[in-house]
Structure 1
Amino acid sequence: MRTKILMVSILAGLFVFISCTNAPESDEAKTTEAKKVSDDKSGETWKLNVSDSKVEWVATKVTGYHVGNVPLKRGDINVKNGEVTGGKFIMDLANMQVSGPKGSDTAMNKKLLGHLKSADFFDVEKNPEGTFELTDVKPYTGSAVKDTADPRQEEINKYKVTDPTHLVSGNLTLKGVTKNIEFPARITVSGNTAEAIAKFNIDRKDWGIVYPGKPDDLIRDAIHLGISIKATK
């Protein structure tokens, strides 16, 4: 009898271990206090193409994960001598979406969306928008992740920019709290088009989003953001 109880305990513990879902393996954004935005507005102002730009998110908890997106309302970037030097983007938190995981229940996703919009999370009634404003853009000097022999390469590519060109920092405002974040990105300016891709994790608690989740299904602090930006002259 004692052996059976022990085996049940071991299997239960193994099940809990396997069920735990961690945040995606990605670059961790360096988070500090808000920084001054440059007053230099020289160069050209290019408009954000909202239909070709997106912010996707992944949030995890003990028993699983959820994915979704936040539409971009408007924005612009400053371009000088073929380089991005500044910019600001407005996120439409009031119209954020929960889209998965694949095969997830639509009604449950709708319920989760309502909770995300509540004061427990983003409090969109008081804070319908989020903003990101660039404070610095400089060449990336770190080592790129390009080990195609790594069996996890496909997953690495999904959650990391494997060939970054720049190190970007900017003030991110969510729920009325502004923090500066720094992360690698791939930025290209060609002709009349500028594009940027960034993938990184942030700690939601830095923006006062501290709801823990259920005692048996705690929410991870890390939120993964995948950002794709396109602007035209």
Structure 2
Amino acid sequence: MKNLKTIALAFAVALTTLTVSAQTKKVDVSKSTINWVGKKVTGQHSGTVALKSGSLVFKKNKLTGGSFIVDMPTLTSTDLTGEYLGKLNGHLKADDFFGTDKYPTSTLVFKTIAPKGNNVYTVTADLTIKAKTNPVTFDITVNGDTATTAFKVDRTKYDIKYGSKSFFEGLGDKTIYDDFDLAVNLKF
């Protein structure tokens, strides 16, 4: 009987050692930032949008997953003030662009993660904006309790066609480029 208990205990210890549980780290949305830049023929606009929630998943201190919800009504320009700020923000939140009344959140869900070394990972994720989901690929760097990334998003893949020369002719200097840039700094 004593040998049976010893074998059972050894088996339990072996299983515990073999099973490495994932650790989910919740993102601190009050300390995390998403900055955007949208460019047009005659210049550019920049701004921010807030995270509603997010988490990164680690196994043996290696990034293995992540998911995020973006609070789209917080979308705002940071390079304008007064009347022009109100006009641009109103247009960005309108159906021509992000339709934040109808689509108050966007999501990003990591699908594959490949380590590149030096705490850098290549991630392919599903990005959903305006109920349209497309893959995006980017590198993310994890250092301590911070993760950073920057990548481009083709807005036309999410049915945001306003001012796009890909869909409208004769726009001239009113053309807005299809890609916008995101720079993300996550604290967890």
Length-normalised TM-score, structure 1: 0.66
Cα distance 1:42–1:127, how it changes in 2: closer, same or farther (>3 A)?
Answer: farther
Residue 126 of structure 1 aligns to a residue whose secondary structure is coil
Please give the alpha-carbon distance, in whole angstroms, between the structure 2 residues aligned to 1:105 and 1:80.
45
1:180 paired residue number: 135
Q: Which runs of 5+ in 1 are unaligned?
A: 1-40, 142-162
CA contact (8 A) 1:70 1:91 kept: yes
Please give the alpha-carbon distance, in whole angstroms, between the structure 1 residues aligned to 2:25 and 2:37.
29
**Residue 43 (structure 1) aligned to one of 6, 22, 26:** 22
Which segments of structure 1 move beyond 4 Å, counting only runs of 4 or more?
none
Cα distance 1:85–1:66, how it changes in 2: closer, same or farther (>3 A)?
Answer: same
RCO comparison, higher one (Cα < 8 Å, 6+): 1
2:106 paired residue number: 130
1:112 paired residue number: 88
CA contact (8 A) 1:164 1:184 kept: no
Please give the alpha-carbon distance, in whole angstroms, between the structure 1 residues aligned to 2:62 and 2:178.
34
Please give the alpha-carbon distance, in whole angstroms, between the structure 2 residues aligned to 1:187 and 1:115.
35
1:80 paired residue number: 59
Q: Please give the per-residue CA displacement for 1:159-194, whole angstroms capped at 9, x wherever unaligned.
A: xxxx87111111111011011111112122x3xx3x
1:227 paired residue number: 184
**Residue 151 (structure 2) aligned to one of 200, 212, 216:** 200
Cα distance 1:164–1:58, how it changes in 2: closer, same or farther (>3 A)?
Answer: farther
Please give the alpha-carbon distance, in whole angstroms, between the structure 2 residues aligned to 1:58 and 1:119.
19
CA contact (8 A) 1:55 1:225 kept: yes
Number of aligned residue pairs = 163
Q: Which amino acid aligns with 1:180?
A: P
Q: Which amino acid aligns with 1:113?
A: N
1:140 to partner: Cα distance:
2.3
Q: Please give the per-residue CA displacement for 1:97-156, whole angstroms capped at 9, x wherever unaligned.
A: 1111xxx44311210100010110001111000111111221227xxxxxxxxxxxxxxx
CA contact (8 A) 1:90 1:132 kept: yes
1:5 paired residue number: none
Length-normalised TM-score, structure 2: 0.80
Residue 78 of structure 2 aligns to a residue whose secondary structure is strand
**Residue 174 (structure 2) aligned to one of 217, 221, 224:** 217
Give the % identical residues. 34
Residue 73 of structure 2 aligns to a residue whose secondary structure is helix
Residue 96 of structure 2 aligns to a residue whose secondary structure is coil
Cα distance 1:164–1:66, how it changes in 2: closer, same or farther (>3 A)?
Answer: farther
RMSD (Å) for aligned C-alpha atoms: 2.0
> Which one has the bigger strand percentage?
2
